Amino acid sequence: MATILRGYKTELDLNNQQCTACRQHAGTARWAYNYGLARKQEALAQRKAVADPKSVRIPTAIDLHNEIIALKQGDKPWLKDVSKWTPQQALRNLDTAFDRFFKKQAKYPQPKKRSKGIGSFYLETPIHVGMIGYSFPSSGRSGSLNTATFPPIASSTSPIAKPRRNASARSATSPPL
């Protein structure tokens, strides 16, 4: 007999302040992706122009994130208003897009556009939801996680059932899933 693993898909009904915070995160993710794409395109163009292509290094997500950290202190102070994970994950997604392109699994990465929708972002830290409200990271200043707490969200929740692997197929010593 299969065990059912249940997950929940939640649609959030955000107020104006919450919506603004989410749009800032999505806009920052789009900006970081496009910034990284431009930097990688510059490096690829330089690589084509020189005699020894291996002498030009293509920046990785880590290199680009370090550049963004430097920009946060100087030209782009608005980057301090969002979580540090937002641009990090966008740059990781860009690296994945280039990896898939070079393996001929996908087309060349294209810039993200605001006209294609609000966008999305990913946070590596949990969003805490409780009866009195919820919180999610608002900034990644000085290595600590600053959270913004908002009032409760009106939401509609629907269960999503996913069947687990057959329990009899596991060995007796394996931990439960």
Whole-number pLDDT of residue 135: 62
Q: Shortest CA distance to 37 belongs to which of 115, 122, 101?
A: 101
pLDDT at 125 over 70: no
State the pLDDT confidence band at 118, using cuts at 50, 70 and 90: confident
List the single range of 10-19, 63-72, 74-83, 122-131 with lowest mean pLDDT.
122-131
Q: Shortest CA distance to 113 belongs to which of 34, 175, 45, 25?
A: 34
Q: With contact defined as beta carbons under 8 Å apart, do 152 and 74 qualify?
A: no
Beta strands in 14-124 (DSSP E): none
Q: Shortest CA distance to 28 belongs to which of 64, 79, 69?
A: 79
